[in-house]
Amino acid sequence: MSSPGPPQSNPARAPSLVAIGNFDGVHRGHQALLGRAAAEARALGLEPLALTFHPHPREVLGQTKRAPLTSIERKVALLRRLGLGVEVEPFTLELSRLSPTEFAERVLVQRLSARVVLWGGNFPFGGNRPGNPPRPKALASPPVSKRGADP
Task: Give the CATH number for residue 79.
Answer: 3.40.50.620
CA distance 50 to 89: 10
147 located within any domain: no
Q: How many domains does the chain have?
A: 1
Mean pLDDT per block of 10 residues along the chain (151 residues) reads: 40 87 90 92 95 89 82 95 95 90 89 89 64 45 54 47
145 located within any domain: no
Write down the pTM of the prediction. 0.79
Range of the domain at 51: 16-139
Query: Does residue 123 sit in helix, strand or coil?
Result: coil
Q: What is the pLDDT of residues 10-49, one digit of tens each?
A: 567 899 999 999 898 899 989 988 998 999 999 999 999 9
Dihedral angle of Cα 38, 41, 42, 43, to the nearest 10 degrees: 120
